Amino acid sequence: MSYTDYQKAQKIGEKTYKSCISEGVYPYLPVLEDMLSKEKSESQVSLGLVEIPVELIAGTYTSGRTTAFARDFMPLLEPETEFGSKWSHLYDSLCSEGQREPVKAYEYLNRFYIVEGNKRVSVQKYMGSVSLEGVVTRIIPQKDDTKENKIYFEFLDFYAKTKINYLLMSHEGSYEKLFRLIHPENSEPLNEDERLEFKFIYSLFKKEYYDKGGHKLNARIGEVLLTYIEIFGYDDIRHKNSADIRKDITKIWSEFRMLADDKPFSLIMHPTEQSQKISIAKLIPVGVQPLKIAFVYYKDPQISGWSYCHEIGREHISNVFGERVETKAFTTYDSSDISLIENIINDGYKLIFTTTPVLNAISLKCAVLHPDVIILNCSLNTAFRHVRTYYLRIYEAKFIIGAIAGSMTEENRIGYIADYPIFGMPASVNAFALGVKLVNPRAKVYLDWSTVKNHNPYEYFEKNDVDLISNKDINAPVQESREFGLYGLYSDTRFNIAMPVWDWGRMYEELVRSVINGAWKNDENANGIHGLNYYWGMSSGAIDVIYSKKLPTGTRQLVNILKNQIKSGEFTPFSGKIYSQHGILMNDTDDIMTPEEIINIDWFADNITGSIPEISELEDGCHELVSQLGIKPERQGSGI
């Protein structure tokens, strides 16, 4: 029997060998020793006896017997050889007694390379084993700026808290996000019961996903499972059986197809012609019930400047569309309150805007459960088919305000008060600093954070002789402070100079019009399987800058020139040579940073003094948002 099985395994190996040759791929087992001769490792750590996922066994440590196996560990030598005889005997032994001795292996970049036990791996892989026991030593590489390296060090943190080694991720931040989702209440490591429960859920999900055809998609199972948990919630999934999971997978299959794409989302940078084309078949006719539109705020617009901006936008579309729409605002202080959106849907609302990133999770789940309702979430850097996101390119306005500050400062020391250290914020800070540098290369920008516990940025600015400050963009109605936009300091007096304008009404008007015109699907059809992120700037009229009439004539002229050039696309703030705080060239002379690169900036320009705070340093009310979208200090690229 074992002889026959060896022949079958050999045929598999020969097929793999020929396939590799035809594709120009090395046909034998990869050798870790050869890889390490080209790479520098930092240290080695003994992991002891661990369960090794068979699918993550990538090769052998030395080149001694590598040519006896094809790249997939299937044998290549003839059955009559000593190798073939030992393989067959080992097969019989494993069938009757199971694995008696662990293999020995090195783990490098979350792949395993066998030191002792290559034939055992070959036999168990042929037998369909999911995992095998091994005594493992981890080889830790030196840190560098490559994406693979960064993800691996995030995996090390994840492994330390979970002992889970069978999940691969392809995006930075995914391991930490997964841990937060399965263990949201504390940062303590998973206990044995929690590890077993997660592995059971993973096994159920993996089987149903592969049965559906997931093995054909070019997406890592870790990212796929993360998306599933993001949408349906870990607490709910814990109580589901295989049939439930199968139904869920069918509902969100388009999300998984999108993950398999190298570019999972498309940025729509301005109102498109497609979104404004009238579809006669889908046009909402005059005389029918008005389109019911809900706006969901995370905080009361009377006390939150952010919510207040969106409330102005809601009032704008009510005025523009009149009786064709019915709008209503809803406020929640609980980001997990899915019942609020469910009730909104039950009341007949067909278009829902959730106006903050912390409401993204419940927006997504409701969108999956109610595909006939359009739900958009105001956030950056997320990609889902069921929920489109929207945001404004505020960094364009910040650049112009930076230029105003650079021309007006007398001390060449300008303060910048940021709030949340999340994606998009470094782009705004850098744009401001680049605007300063455009007109005043001697000036420095001193960055501080309004959300740090027990901290007053003004004390920091006073020590550094700051004379101008860029602060939050708008006040809530109940606040009478003049500390918003760009303002100057004179003793205890604040005098406002300029401020950016977020005209959400302009964006809401265009989005609502596309729904009323029946053109909502046009952007989706034009962008294939991608998720859609609306990311509009000054060219759309949704972003602007207003300034004091007391500005010098030359400065006003400069502002208008910059506005016109940015609107027309002749100029972008992130072009030409840009250096980080550490003197590293982040953008070269003839280059223009892409919108995706700008969104993901995790460094600060060389004329900025300041850094990203740890999440533990922030006020408690910030933790939820920052834990979802925050830039960790240890991830701050080459600059921060």
Per the CB < 8 A criterion, the answer to whether 56 and 112 are in contact is yes
Per the CB < 8 A criterion, the answer to whether 600 and 640 are in contact is no
Residue 629 domain-assigned (yes or no): yes
**CATH (domain of 419):** 3.40.50.2300
Q: Give CA torsion, residues 628, 633, 638, 640, to 10 deg.
A: 110
Lowest mean pLDDT segment, chosen from 411-415, 544-548, 636-640: 636-640
- pLDDT band for position 275 (50/70/90)? low
**Residue, of 396 and 304, whose pLDDT is higher:** 396
**What count of residues does the chain have?**
640
- Tell me which amino acid residue 368 is: V
Looking at 103-162, which runs of residues are DSSP E strands? 103-108, 111-116, 131-141
Q: Which of residues 94, 126, 142 is at a domain's end?
A: 142
**CA torsion sign, 392 to 396 to 402 to 407?**
negative
Angle between helices 242-251 and 221-232 (to 10 degrees): 90
Q: What is the 3-state secondary structure (H, E, C) of 607-636?
A: CEECCCCCHHHECHHHHHHHHHHECCHHHC
Q: pLDDT per residue over 8-57, tens digit each? A: 999 999 999 999 999 999 999 999 998 887 777 778 999 999 999 999 99
Residue 465 domain-assigned (yes or no): yes
Residue 280 has pLDDT above 50, yes or no: no
**CATH (domain of 69):** 3.90.1530.10
- 3-class DSSP state of 371: coil
**Residue, of 614 and 441, whose pLDDT is higher:** 441
Residue 318 domain-assigned (yes or no): no
Give the per-residue pLDDT at 475.
67
**Residue, of 607 and 383, whose pLDDT is higher:** 607
Q: How would you label 336-360 residue by residue, b for 16+ Cβ within 10 Å and e otherwise?
A: eebebbeebbeeebbbbbbbbbbbb
Q: pLDDT per residue over 288-325, tens digit each? A: 789 999 999 999 999 888 999 999 999 999 999 999 99
Q: How many structural domains does the chain have?
A: 2
Distance (Å, whole) CA 606 – CA 242:
54
Give the per-residue pLDDT at 279.
45
Lowest mean pLDDT segment, chosen from 95-109, 360-374, 397-411: 95-109
Q: Name the average pLDDT for the chain.
A: 90
Per the CB < 8 A criterion, the answer to whether 431 and 395 are in contact is yes
Q: pLDDT per residue over 208-221, tens digit each? A: 999 999 988 888 99
Give the per-residue pLDDT at 424.
92
Q: Which of residues 91, 121, 142 is at a domain's end?
A: 142
Residue 25 domain-assigned (yes or no): yes
- What's the whole-number mean pLDDT along residues 385-408? 96
- 3-class DSSP state of 94: helix
Give the per-residue pLDDT at 620.
85
Residue 182 domain-assigned (yes or no): no
Q: Which of residues 122, 142, 162 is at a domain's end?
A: 142
Residue 404 domain-assigned (yes or no): yes
Residues 6+ apart with CB under 8 A from 252: 227, 228, 231, 368, 386
Give the per-residue pLDDT at 377.
97
Residue 367 domain-assigned (yes or no): no
- What's the whole-number mean pLDDT along residues 351-358? 96
Residue 345 domain-assigned (yes or no): no
Distance in Å from the first CA to the final CA of the chain: 62
Domain range for 495 is 394-500+552-635
Distance (Å, whole) CA 553 – CA 81:
91
